[in-house]
Amino acid sequence: MAAAGSSLTQQMDQLYEFEREPVTEDKLKPGQYFAGLFAGEHVAATEFVIGAFFVLHGVTMSDLLIGLLVGNLLAVLSWTFICAPIATRTRLTLYWYLRKIAGPGMTAVYNVANAVLYCVLAGAMISVSATAIGLGVGVPLPEGAYPDSLGWIVITLAIGAVVTLLAIFGFEQLSRFSSVCSPWIFVAFIAGAVASFPALGIRPDLSNLITVLDTRVWNGIPDEGQMKYGVWHIAAFAWLANLAMHVGLSDMALFRYAKNWKYGLYSFFGMYTGHFLAWICSGIMVAAVAREMNPGLMAYEALGLAGAFAVLVAGWTTANPTMYRVGLALQVVTPNWPRWKVTLVAGTITSVLSCFPLFFTELLAFVATYGLILMPVGAIVFAEHWILPRLGVEPFLAERRGWFISPAAAIVWGGTLALCFLLYRLGVHEFFLWIPGYLFALALYSGLQVAFSRSARSQAHVQPASKEVSLP
């Protein structure tokens, strides 16, 4: 067991070796780099689905606007005050910082959890792309959660195969193509909304614009079987849509290149384009097709062939880097496998998942679950970085003691998820679960580390700490 752990640790360390050292001063990036990155990354295929779902959930226009303004602001502030400060102080990725705090075993578990969640996300994006192809070849979107036609299965598997092969062979070229696509996809969202005006009965002089949006788009009436959402649902969702990245700290990888913590404010360019304008636009498009949740149909009806192409490339260009990251994350638990083999296996699993429309018809719940599962790790790192030094607890116990996995971190991760599950069973909506969960994780981890530290101090007369570890 110890040998297996040691081998796994070596394997992971080799994989992330290139980013082991803190980023140096000469490698820091200018502000426009972050603005461009955020603006490009947050206009994805999933935006076609999320904004449309808000309409189906009977949100009113004022609730939507206030909720998105507040929720996206909270997301920007989370990047600015939680993620960026830790990243710019340590200049490390979450992987290496978590390794010091919780041990290599914890980073392995984190990687696998991340990979599985990424597979589902990539599968949802492939499903969204498939709705555009299906429209062209006359294959309808399955009615329920499962595939109901051979045509749908063939389309999703074919797109999945292309995405997987490109992730294996052409990631560099594809990332170049993605950067070309991003501005156009964003324009396609706005164009789709504007082109839907006549279908909704909005007059050319826009004199009835507000009335129509209020009565035919965000009219406050949920579709059958959909729960009604209010302003707090929208605000909470906008905040948690990227929970794993800001509060969960995985964007430390990005902000370690920032000159200072204020660069977190550049996330504004992603939130108020993709998670504000694009969500509003997809809401208008779904209302124009009688609330039929079919991204391909929505975009095709609004923009013709260009619309179907927009859905296809939005899914394709965002599924590909996701697949690439799955391959990277899973490499840590597939000893001696080359990257292509890992990506092939992950791509096959993702392609099979993409056959099930469940993953995009339940996208909002999945996004909430995704953030929730990874959030405790962010709380552990936050507590270790900001709270424990003020309580006089020695940092990086796992590294000092050579632990494979920190018991406190493992207890906190499992305990937090158990608490969230309990709250969910008691009726707390999934969008709100992470807030008590995060506070609980902060308190529990701090308490456990203080208790452990006191216990270790009482034994210090017998065995002193093995080595000194300092923050870079």
Q: Which residues bind another protein (CB under 8 A)?
A: 176-177, 179-180, 183-184, 187-188, 190-192, 194-195, 197-198, 202, 204, 302-306, 309
Minimum CB separation of residue 301 from another protein in Å reads 10
Residue 144 or 198 having the CB closest to another protein: 198
Which CB, 302 or 381, lies closer to another protein?
302
Residues 91 and 255: their CA atoms lie apart, in Å, by 8
Residue appearing with tokens 């999934």: 430
The whole-angstrom distance between residue 432's C-alpha and the CA centroid of its chain comes to: 16
- Nearest approach in angstroms of CB 38 to another protein is 19
Give the nearer residue to another protein in terms of CB position, either 65 or 306.
Answer: 306
User: Alpha-carbon distance 22 to 464, whole Å?
Assistant: 29
210 vs 305 by CB, closer to another protein: 305
Contact 94, 250 (CB under 8 A): yes
CB atoms within 10 A of CB 22: 15
Beta-carbon contacts of 140 under 8 Å, excluding residues fewer than 6 positions away, are: 134, 149, 152
Q: Which is nearer to another protein, 177 or 452 (CB)?
A: 177
Smaller CB separation from another protein, 74 or 190: 190
CB of 79 to another protein, least distance (A): 27
Minimum CB distance to another protein smaller for 309 or for 452: 309
The CA distance from 39 to 41, in Å, is: 6
Residue 204 C-beta: closest distance to another protein, Å: 4
- Please name which of 197, 213, 217, 247 lies closest in space to residue 378, comparing C-alpha atoms: 247
Q: How far is the CB of 103 from another protein (least distance, A)?
A: 39
Q: Closer to another protein at the Cβ: 252 or 281? A: 281
Distance (Å) of CA 27 to CA 117, 256, 259: 31, 10, 10
Q: How far is the CB of 54 from another protein (least distance, A)?
A: 22
Cα–Cα distance between 208 and 302 in angstroms, integer?
A: 20
Closer CB to another protein, residue 179 or residue 211?
179
SS3 label, residue 181: helix
Task: Please give the Cα distance from 168 to 338 (Å, whole number).
Answer: 11
Kindly tell me the sign of the dihedral angle through the C-alpha atoms of 391, 392, 396, 400: negative
- Min CB(11)–another protein separation in Å: 32
3-state secondary structure of 60: strand
Tell the smallest beta-carbon distance from residue 269 to another protein (Å): 17
Distance CA 439, CA 247 (A): 12
Report in angstroms the alpha-carbon separations of 220 from 228, 380, 411: 8, 39, 42
**CB 270, min distance to another protein, A:** 19
Residues shown for the chain: 472
Q: Which two three-digit tokens encode residue 407?
A: 């018991």
DSSP state of 265: G
Q: Cα–Cα distance between 388 and 443 in angstroms, integer?
A: 11
CB of 187 to another protein, least distance (A): 5
**Which of 4, 187 has the CB closer to another protein?**
187
The tokens for 88 are 């710019």
